[in-house]
Chains A and B, each alone.
Chain A
Amino acid sequence: MNRFWALVFLTVPVFGVLTFVVAPYFNHWFPPDVSEHGRIIDQLFMFILWLTGILFIATEGALFYFAWKYDRRVNPEPVKFSHGSHTLEVVWTILPAVTLLFIAIYQMNAWADAKMRRPDIPVTAEITGRQFNWDARYPGPDGELHTPDDVVREDGDIHFPAGEEVLLVIKSADVLHSFFLPNLRMKQDVVPGMEQYMWFKSRETGRFDIVCAELCGWGHYRMKGRATFEPRSEFEAWLKAKAEEQNARTVAVAETE
């Protein structure tokens, strides 16, 4: 191998690392985090990114160094093979194993908080994924789902109270979907026939994306929704307005068109 090719190979890790370095400056990094727990998720991500990043740079550096050093033209000596070093083998088996074990234990609490310690509060809404829309069913005044006073929204415009814990039941009407709230660092796969739960607490108000994160058919790309986080009073007013709209028995005849 000559040194030209060594340099060509070097461009790959250089480009890879550069992508990460410049991405935040081009707005290609994480969307703003508005959730209570998202900080921990982001910290975990950054920790793993740094760890793997440093290892990546070291490994790629070593690979490049060998390709550069053992160029045939400057290093005509034939290759010598050795049977290997027992100590080295043990070290590079144990070291990654310990690291992986450490990560597994280190993230356990975050995982449990996000997926296992379901808060004991009433369900805020039932979210149903269907090709290709997110529907929401709110329990209505009686607090029970699937009763005649439910408020059902099928336009993907889903509202949640901000600043308090929200518990969702997530279902699918047809195939696999994944309910993804990027700004809340929350993602839950939806399996037909199963009820999944998701809980989160937003620190801020605002309108954020809901996307489907599991390829679910030809319209997957457009299976978007909008999550609006607003103070409890506004949320309740919205719910009331939608309940009234849903119970409309008359029609405003003053057509604009």
Chain B
Amino acid sequence: MLTGCGQAPPAQFRLDMTNVVDKQLARPHQAQIANVLGAMFGTPDEPFALGETGLSQRRLHMAAGPVQSNDLGAKRGLYRRHCAHCHGISGDGRGPTAGILNPYPRDYRKGKFKFKGTQYAAKPTHEDLRRIVHDGIPGTAMPSFALLPPDEIDALVEYVKYLSIRGEMETRLEDYVFDAVDPEEELDLEKDEGHREEVMAMLTEIATPWQEAAEQIIVPDESAIPPADRTPEEIAESVAKGRELFYSATKGNCLQCHGPTGLGDGEQTDFDDWSKINKAFIDNTASLETEIEELQKNLAELKGEAHDEAEAELDAKVVELKQRREWMAHLLPPRNAIPRNLRDGSYRGGRRPIDIFWRIYAGIPGMPMPGAAQSGAGGTGLSQEEIWQIVDYVHSLPFEPVSRPQKRPTNVEAVN
């Protein structure tokens, strides 16, 4: 093999430093976590999936690795070719272009996916993710990959699942080391049967919902689905009812976020779950700074043993602050979750009535949008009939005269 110029070092999965720094995991522990993950999931060039994950090794192989194709036209490196520049090698949503995009690319490692047809807490099905890759997400930088052959889309979807399972596993592992492994103890699954069992149980816990996602699909009741051959009057009636629910403070209460005009100009100060994590990290760093200032002030008044103890504590905190500041430079600045403008006619998770139904029924994981079908805790216990009425209302919004942009001057030359 040629080495030196032009030979990039092999791609590596990097640990999620937000969690690592937050938990102040020691370097040996970081290395041990990376080892365990490497043994379970392989590398970006040679990923592998333990049987527990239920992933197809063939598809992962196709999606992973550097971009290449062999003489027979069999491709590899699809993820790096099409996805990694936004979603990152580790699927952390922090690829090189991430910072210039709004919204930010998805971080798969949290295991949350917004646009799916399953219950709120369930994972998306293969078909759900496939649809997103195929159709893209209008209104975001996620393009459609409809021109890719189906087996390549399948491979990419499989790899997204792999990165998500791997990412969730990583977080769980870090939390586990923080909670259950002594600072001096080594995390070695080969040697310690106890840890091994715990870790494998975690993997099963994370991977099983992926395999059982299809059982969690929300199938609307036949009886509640509005018939396809409704008259315009019937549709108008349904729209009117949906409108009432949209504005009802006790039932739909959609206007709280989507605004009284439906332009998404209601509550705009909340954050999505991915930004919340970054925001907490930044806020905690700020409070650590004040803590350090306090300690420094008090230090002068302390004598003897108390002074030494306080000094040691202060030193540790200063080190942590340095690590936090270093990592903060890599974080994407948190952004508010802006409720969707329902009048511009673009639908990120799909424009089919069933897509809108799913969004309203189950809510959108990771976002402030609650599921309307559940009662209590944000949900208002809407019936399926009522949800379909809101679907009709939402679908009618872009076509209301006020939603239409004013007629723009046409190209005078072209009109002739």
**Residues of A in contact with B (beta carbons under 8 Å apart):** 115-118, 130-133, 135, 146-148, 152, 154-157, 193-197, 218-219, 222-226, 245-251, 253, 255-257
Contacts and interface: CB of A to CB of B under 8 A. Distances in A.
A208 to B, nearest CB: 12
Given A196-B414, A249-B357, A257-B127, A133 B143 contact: yes
Contacts of A225: 147
B279 interface: no
A30 B366 CA distance: 49
A146 B404 contact: yes
A253 B226 contact: no
Contacts of A219: 141, 143
B410 A195 contact: yes
B402 to A, nearest CB: 13
Contact of A152 (B117, B126, B351, B404): B351
B351 A255 contact: no
B411 interface: yes
Interface in B35-57: none
Contact of A156 (B146, B399, B410): B146
B354 interface: yes
A157 to B, nearest CB: 5
Interface string B346-386: 00000111100100000000000000000000000000000
23 contacts: A115-B414, A116-B414, A118-B416, A130-B138, A131-B141, A133-B143, A147-B399, A152-B345, A154-B135, A154-B138, A194-B409, A194-B411, A197-B410, A247-B352, A248-B353, A249-B220, A250-B354, A251-B219, A251-B220, A253-B219, A255-B214, A257-B125, A257-B126
The residue among A116, A133, A225, A245 with the most chain B CB atoms within 10 A of its own CB is A133
Given A118-B415, A256-B127, 10 more contacts: A131-B141, A133-B136, A147-B399, A195-B408, A247-B352, A250-B222, A251-B220, A253-B217, A255-B125, A255-B214
Interface string B137-162: 01001011011000000000000000
B411 A197 contact: yes
A195 B413 CA distance: 11
B134 A195 contact: no
Given A117-B416, A249-B225, A257-B214, A155 B144 contact: yes
B395 interface: yes
B228 interface: yes
Given A148-B399, A154-B135, A246 B352 contact: yes
A65 B354 CA distance: 75
Given A116-B416, A155-B136, A195-B410, A247 B353 contact: yes
B396 interface: yes
Contacts of B100: 218
A110 to B, nearest CB: 15
B204 interface: no
A166 to B, nearest CB: 15
A148 B388 CA distance: 16
Pick the 4 closest A-B CB pairs, nearest first: A257-B126, A155-B146, A155-B144, A255-B214
A246 B141 CA distance: 22
A130 to B, nearest CB: 8
A223 B145 CA distance: 10
Interface string B226-238: 1010000000000
A224 B399 CA distance: 29
Contacts of B284: none
A193 B408 CA distance: 7
The residue among B136, B144, B222, B345 with the most chain A CB atoms within 10 A of its own CB is B144
A196 B413 CA distance: 10
B97 interface: yes
Contacts of A256: 126-127
Nearest to B214: A255
B63 to A, nearest CB: 15
B414 A251 contact: no
A249 B353 contact: yes
B34 to A, nearest CB: 31
Contacts of B411: 194-197
Given A148-B395, A218-B97, A118 B354 contact: no
B134 to A, nearest CB: 6
A155 B135 contact: yes
Contacts of B127: 255-257
A116 B354 contact: no
